[in-house]
Every structure is written in structure tokens, then in C-alpha cells.
Amino acid sequence: MRSTPPALALASLLAALPVAAQKPSGSLGNLPPPAQVAPPPQRPGPAPQVALPRDKPPPLGGTTRPPGFGQPGPGVGQPPQGFGQAPQAPPGQMAALPRSKPPPLGATGPGQAAAPGQGATPPGPRRQVSSGTGFVVAPRQIMTNQHVVDGCAAMTARLPNGQEIAATVIAADTQRDLALLRTDADAGPVLPFRRAAEMRRGEAVVTYGFPLAGLLSSGPTLTTGDVSALAGIEDNPRQIQISAPVQQGNSGGPLLDLRGHVVGVIVSKLNAQRIAQATGDIPQNVNFAVKHTEAVDFMREHGVQPLLEGTGTVRTAAEIGEVAHASTLFLRCLR
């Protein structure tokens, strides 16, 4: 083997050094390093899921919704704070059931005078402020509720043939919520009261009156139901509870049994909105009537003799409506 002279070996070594210095670490030969490519943008990960409530929902009436529940939160498209979490009510905040008597059907608004109507319509224009129902209990004598005549400057009664006659309040009882009116013209045949004082739960009854006049039919409306309880709100002994549907304007109308005898005077219905706010549930078919025994006593106290009957033929609801039609009147309260 030939030996390389020392000078030639040194020159070869020096010539190779610049080439070696141009090679970047990890490069391929003398090729330039690859261009730096920006990393792809990262996709946003899924938004954190809202935790669903795991506990059992509160019972009806157990909690109340906090203020603003269900309203849009601050900012556009931003959910309110705590969205998706079960609303928590502070302990001891269960709403109490209403204890007061619900407003009677067809009652006048707050701030109205409490003077009963006096005589026929006085001179000058009058306008209707409320309406109700009445029925003939004696010749030219009409019974209705006290709250129907409350604050009225004048009253009129519309007969089944469409004729309107003037009516004068002659007696009123705020405790019973009953009133008597007198008419100068014949108001129709007298409806008899049941002679027996007893009422039974489950007994079928019929209502006849003029609910929501101007919104529903301008003519009378008949509904059917049963006696649900023998007392009113908070065990009021003057009233009975019925399931027959009634509305504003039914006030003062007759409640009849299947023999056509008056067994009550429609007076009020349970305030469903207040009960729903207190309990979270909407009551159904909870209405009230003044007992016929209270109406009979009220008439006698004011010198009016009621017509009492103890027997009769059981009839259909349609036949009862035909009996009541000629004696049930649409009342208007004027001011």
C-alpha cells in the first residue's frame, strides 16, 4: 500500500472541512433544510357540557321559581348564570294556601261605592258596569247576590222576551251575599224552593244563568254537575260546593235539583289563578252556592213568602232548563 505524503494528506483534510461545516445536523447531504411549515390550527374542543340536575324534582308547591327564571340572560346568546341547574328555593318558602274567600262572581272592582241601587233609572245617560243573574221568587220579586247590586245607581232586568224593566233593591244581606229586588212589571212565574232542608253529596244539580255576557251567548246557559260538599270555603255553613261549571255573570242564578226545585243561589267560584300560584296545581270545577235554606230565611226576614214544594217528577236537565227559562232574568248594574 502506498503511503500518502504528509503535506498532501494535510491539504486534503483542510479542503474537506468547509463542506462538513455546511451540513446542518440531521440534513440530507448538502440539500438546504426543509421549509418550516406552520402547524395546523387546533380545532376548539367541545364546549363543556352543562350538568343536568341529578336530584329528584321538588313536589308541587314545594318550591317557588326564583325571580327572572326563564328570562334571557345578559348578553346576546349568552345563557343566564346557572342555566341548566335546578332552581333552588330557600328552605321554608313553601307558599301558603289562600285563607280568604275568593272574589264573588261578577263583583265590582275595588274603589266602587257600596250603595245599593235606588229605584228606577234616574234621568241622564247610564252605562252598564257589570251584570249578573236573578230569578223570580215571588210575584214581582227577584233574588240575586248582594255583590251583583253593590254600588249600582240603578238596576234593570231583561225578561226572556227581550223586554227590559226597572228593578229596585229592597233588601240586601252581605253575610249571606243575597239581595231582593222589586219590579213594577210582571217578571215571570215563581220558581219554587225545595221544602226539605237536606242536601246529599253526589246529588245532581243544574245551573241556569248568563255567564260572560257579551263574550259568550247573549242567551242563558245551562250547566250540570253534582253537590261536592255540604259546606263552602273554610267550612262556611251557609254554602255548598258544586262541580257544575260557572263563570262571572252566573252570580245570583238558581241552582236546581232534578225536580225543578231551587236548592241554592250561585255565588262564586274558586280563584284558580291564586290556587295555582300557591300549590302549583289548577283546581277544577270548584264552585259555590248559597244554600236554599239561607235564601228562604232571608226572604221571610223581609216579609216575602217563598213558594215551597216537596214533591215532583224527576226530569231531565233539558226539561229543568225549560222550567227555569221563563223565571231567570239577566240583570244589569248601571251607573
Q: Which of 147, 257, 261, 268 is catalytic?
A: 147
Q: Rounded to whole angstroms, how far apart are CA atoms 250 and 247?
A: 6
Residue 12 is among the residues annotated as catalytic for this protein: no
Residue 218 is among the residues annotated as catalytic for this protein: no
Q: Which of 130, 131, 228, 251 is catalytic?
A: 251
Residue 177 is among the residues annotated as catalytic for this protein: yes
Q: Please state the φ and ψ torsions of residue 141, each to the nearest 5 degrees.
A: -125, 130
Write the CB contacts of 169 (distance below 8 Å, at least 6 apart in sequence): 116, 117, 118, 149, 152, 155, 179, 180, 181
Evaluate whether 206 touches 266 at the Cβ level (below 8 Å): no
Q: Which of 130, 131, 150, 177 is catalytic?
A: 177
Per-residue burial over 212-236, b = 16 or more CB atoms within 10 Å of its CB, e = otherwise: ebeeeeeebbbbbbebbeeebbeee
Q: Please state the φ and ψ torsions of residue 300, each to the nearest 5 degrees.
A: -65, -35
Which residues have a catalytic role annotated?
Answer: 147, 177, 251
